[in-house]
């Protein structure tokens, strides 16, 4: 997911990824993930009622995967 997010950001910036990701591209993906997570559920809920772009879809999918992992870990600990 992180690679897909980095590739999408690079594409949106007009610099498609060819081969390995650069440190800057990985950092941009990490920053986007962090900003999406810190945006809060209220803002993300508002996005459910309007069109979001491909990058936001990837960020939402990334968050959903992390939530599923947390749920699985919680069930195992129970």
Dihedral over alpha carbons 45, 33, 55, 24 (to 10 degrees)? 160
DSSP 19: S
- Per-residue pLDDT, averaged over 12-24, amounts to 91
Are 32 and 5 in contact by the 8 Å Cβ rule? The answer is yes
pTM over cut 0.85:
no
Which is more confident, 37 or 45? 37
Q: Is the pLDDT of residue 46 over 60?
A: no
Residues whose CB is less than 8 angstroms from the CB of residue 32 and which lie 6 or more positions away in sequence, other chains included: 5, 9, 55, 59
> Model confidence at 77, in pLDDT bands (50, 70, 90)?
confident
Q: Is the pLDDT of residue 48 over 80?
A: no
């Amino acid at each position: 997911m992180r690679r897909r997010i980095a590739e999408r950001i690079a594409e949106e910036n007009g610099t498609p990824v060819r081969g390995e990701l650069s440190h800057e591209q990985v950092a941009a993906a990490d920053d986007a993930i962090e900003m999406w997570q810190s945006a809060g559920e209220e803002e993300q809920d508002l996005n459910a009622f309007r069109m979001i772009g491909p990058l936001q879809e990837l960020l939402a999918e990334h968050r959903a995967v992390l939530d599923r992992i947390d749920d699985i870990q919680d069930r195992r600990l129970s």
